[in-house]
Amino acid sequence: MSKAVSIAKEQVSAVIEAAMKKAMAAGMLPESELPAFTVERPADRSHGDFATNAAMASARAFRMAPPKIAAAIMENLDLNGTYFVKAETAGPGFMNFFLGSAFYSDVLTEVLTKDSAYGRSDYGNHRKVMVEFVSANPTGPMHMGNARGGALGDCLASVLDAAGYDVWREFYVNDAGNQLDKFGLSLSIRYQQLFAENPPELPEDSYHGEDILDLAKEYAKEHGDELMHVTEEERRKALVGFGLPKNIAKMKADMEKYRVHYDRWFLESDLHKDGEVMAVVDYLRDRGLTYEKDGAVWYKATEFGGEKDEVLVRANGNPTYFTADIAYHKNKFDRGFDLLIDIWGSDHHGHVARMKG
């Protein structure tokens, strides 16, 4: 809260209490202990810059109708030496106060004096908050939905920072799992199409964007047809190793242009390398939150508001995207954050309930 606003509220309380005491001394109000009342800023500024319910809050103490109490207060009200130039009564006993130029002069002085610190508070008491936002799939270029997430996440993080929270901005890079397998397959086929007489066709569910072809051409320009003489696994690994860092670098450059700066770009692959993904399955199993069916490990999502139970580990032994997400959120809490905020796209609405569970 602005210092001038705090002073103004204190002034309203002080002049009301002084007027009540003066009115009691003059016999206009009966002797009584001063009641508690509120001072607030009305939504409609035509009703005044500050308003108080002092007259209505005093009705029981003074055993008088609020309008009469308000009239007695007004008759004994002294605004000299305050920010206010006038006061009026309204309705059933509200009292409205109107600010003069001295208030605005002090506000402007405070703005100029505090500069970028103006408006900041310690409301958050340095609680650690992580805002994870955008977290776009690194297998292709970002889009307008990611821009929306960037604006929302960065603005929210800035507001929290101004409110006294210890804010951390994070981008989660999905560089593991099915989408990366699809990325490798798509790059491999596009690369083969540049050299083979009878190249394979892109499957319907692979990536068909021009960016995939551009990466394949870029690799071919630098390394020629060398990957035509290796196994499919080696070819995909080489192409992913070439293309993924370029896509991530492009994402970072795009966010920098957008003036969004992250404290960390967190790689999903690190969770797998460190064993945190499978460890979280054991963590849930130890708490009786899983069961096995059809060779897979399932999470009891329905016990926590989910529409259906969710697979954590497929029958082939591979963890699902959801499992990695659980491990990532546990990792966040393990790093000591008090509050986690995820900015997700509308296509993730079904993921919210089970993630909260």
b/e for 315-328, b at 16 or more Cβ within 10 A? Answer: eeeebbebbbbbbb
Q: Structure pTM? A: 0.77
- Where does the chain hold its CATH 3.40.50.620 domain(s)? 128-173+262-356
Strand pairing of 128-133 and 39-40? unpaired
Fold of 3-103: Gyrase A; domain 2 (3.30.1360)
- pLDDT tens for the chain, 357 residues: list them: 678 999 999 999 999 999 999 999 999 999 999 989 999 999 888 889 999 999 999 999 999 999 999 999 999 999 999 999 999 998 888 999 999 999 999 999 999 999 989 889 999 999 999 999 999 999 999 988 899 999 999 999 999 999 999 999 999 999 998 889 999 999 999 999 999 999 999 999 999 999 999 999 999 999 999 999 999 999 999 999 999 999 999 999 999 999 999 999 999 999 999 999 999 999 999 999 999 999 999 999 999 888 899 999 999 999 999 999 999 999 999 999 999 999 998 878 778 888 888
Domain 128-173+262-356 of CATH type 3.40.1190.10: no
Q: Are 127 and 166 in contact (CB under 8 A)?
A: yes
pLDDT tens-digit readout, 264-299:
999 999 999 999 999 999 999 999 999 999 999 999
Q: CB under 8 Å, gap of 24 or more: what pairs does 3-10 form?
A: 3/106, 3/110, 4/83, 4/103, 4/106, 4/107, 4/110, 5/41, 7/83, 7/106, 8/49, 8/50, 8/82, 8/83, 8/84, 8/99, 8/103, 9/39, 9/50
pLDDT tens-digit readout, 44-84:
888 899 999 999 999 999 999 999 999 999 999 999 999 99
- Where does the chain hold its CATH 3.30.1360.70 domain(s)? 3-103
